[in-house]
Structure 1
């Protein structure tokens, strides 16, 4: 035998084993160990970043929810009569202005501030130079002239703001605050003439960023201008982010990277996630040693232990001999059975002259017994996890359902209807009845089969509401009344197609025409829905037909006439599949025709009712 040019003919078995271990185990172990050292470091960092990234994402979601809730709380100001009087140019006596200010503070400001500890103060400012302010909750003494001056500067920038604008950081007295504004318009001129300005302390944002699971590192918020909106260290609030860190954060909406702190010199891992709603970036800078120091130490210990084991193996290799062949062969056969999933092994165990092999067999039997136990535990754990998921989904569903009180909504709509009738507002009464019917109908079982008359009644109420919205809308309804009780339909399948006309058929323009007609065929009853809207391109037409024929939505989504992606077509597909699953493949939704700038025609094919329900196949001359 010759290895690497060295003759091993005179070497003992122990020596040969020693040489083989050095060349084929020791050297590869060293090379692979070096490679593994580098790759494991990267893997540990990625694992740690992934584990903490979910917390950052949840923080971002909570911040978006907080800002959205704040935005929703400003809606009552838009059409309020007192606000409209405040925005008007009508001259008011000092007493009338005092009464108006007091009513705004008592009715609107108090309603918004009630139960909220994060609002420092609220201001109303109009282009007619009127201002109403309420800063009673602000800590310390304030110079209100400075606040009024600041409010006027915001009013002068009114045209640069969105309807709801996060203006940014400011100071109310000595307290740092986040200032947001809602634009207010005059109902008579439809021009923006005022601002609702809300100053918020940073306690709520700080509470969102604080999390018991985020021990050992800081979570802070950076605005789109590169300044810190919030930081656990109050001295950092409003400060600029250092340029090197800022450029790396702004390069991508979400990522993680290593960064050397310019002040402390500490190496940190930075995770960040940008919000598409607020434009803020939630950043977590984690000291690398705190994050993965223990894992690195364990990795180093593992390498040291493996190296020590290798050295011990080399020192003890002389004690082994060819007598290991037989027990190793037996062990190999037993392991092959375990690999095939056979854990039923012989109960007796051979005794060998060397205690090491006896210990190996004992360990193997213990290991197989432990593996068998662990497999049972994993199976039991998976079953429990599935049961827990099902219970969790049921709990979430019950929680959602508990927030809806149909009787309360019905009674409220009936009260509104009664007041409308009493005041001779018949249009409002008609719309209220339509809305009540739609709500009552919508909460019914979505998959139940109903007579076509019920679906058409639901569509008619929906069109009543749309007609009130679009006064110039012409509706052409040509239905055979005798057939409405002779045809079956699935609840809530016609109205989504009619609604699709208003959402997509007249995208970018006001609806002008909607036609609904029926046609009796020998094997089905057809409902034809047509519009004179924007229509579809030939490519979009092919895509929609492919969706309805194949039952699969396209990966790229449907295209507008201008080529931009708009919708996946899932709504049309859902209606089509519900009809086919309920009545059979010969029924469903069909796209008959669509021409750009001329309109679209859809056809819904429904079955006639069975003999037990009053089977009827009308003649073609009906």
Structure 2
């Protein structure tokens, strides 16, 4: 790979780091928090309103229950009158019998009605009216023909009836009717007429607290208002726009155009409908304030965290880009370029590693230029090979600490893929910057190759990798560092990418043959021209050290072969067994360690 291409690749890597950091912040911090906050805001608003409605509805039902209890108790207090002998005699009394009429009305007044009226201050008047138009009340006997004629139709077939509110001498009173039945004939013989003061009902309704301006009112089954804070509305017909909604169900709620919450509940006992009217904001303002306060706290925290993370990411990528510019100067020949190394963090360590690397390169280049021209040709070729290998390790050497830092941040933000890729890259770079003169086994080289292919599989999910060798036997096979990875890269580039093919398959197979080890690398891309393959195999099998074709074509194959041949000598090296439209098969012949630990070569 050329220096210019290397710089372009590093530029893409640096941009991808910044893009990934910003993307991680955006997609895994800001957007999830914003979406969650919005959903929480809407959900909490619904819950607040729902809780306020349910709370008000329970309150209305409780007040309705109190009214039901009040009327049930009133109804029970009149039970003794139904079967009392005096009442039964009064119902069958002949209107012409003046004496008996005078006697019975007096006794009923003194013994029954006065006591009931005295024990119930809410009773304005109580009267018994017979079907023969004879009446008696707590204040005496009088003709009640108008009562009987007006109320008998309203009672219909019912035994107990709440008629409604009327005014007696400007005082609102509630009229209740109860049918009397003759104990002998079981026929209707009269009725009890109760007129109640509204004090008890007003007190029950007035105790309801619905915000600062909310209130309740009562409506009977005919749509007339029984109770209202505005006393002028008592006895009037309720608003038809409301009663039409009340007729749809016995209880429920709805909102008006001016955001007023209307809750209604009809009693099964009285068939009255209790209605509450309250602005919705008054029910929810306290809880809404807490919700809004939490929302603003969340926005402030989110904004602060996002700014800090973005600032940190830009500071990190700025330091890497500055080091990139210094690398470009070094690659162009300015080996006096130095990075600031005052910081005591990972970036400072990276800069110090770069400075040390440039110094070593400069010293090594001076050593190469001042070395003796008459040194052994093999030693000169070995030094040149080592120098090329060192150049190829410039990037892994100073990028190692950066990848460790990327792995730490990836773990913090919970990105397993980035963590795995950065760890694999770090292992690759650690392996590549080790001592190039140190001999390695094929086991070490295959382990490094696996990490490289794992990274490629993240980039190319459709890539299939197949291994076929005895893992334990790899420890006895001698190899050189970074000999397999360039050949796989060569397959990717020339077998797939330049032919516009999707990366599909790479196979690694090994076998022992004639006290040596044969490692086979197979791809299924498009192979090279037969003439070029023949030239390569002629060069691989000979002793010439010149590349058989132009350096721009597959220089990786020749470099790997030369390094193996210079390290272990003939016959070890590369051979192309097959290359055509169905793929390419390359074999590497490597020496085996004997049982005593020495190479068989």
TM-score, L = length of structure 1: 0.45
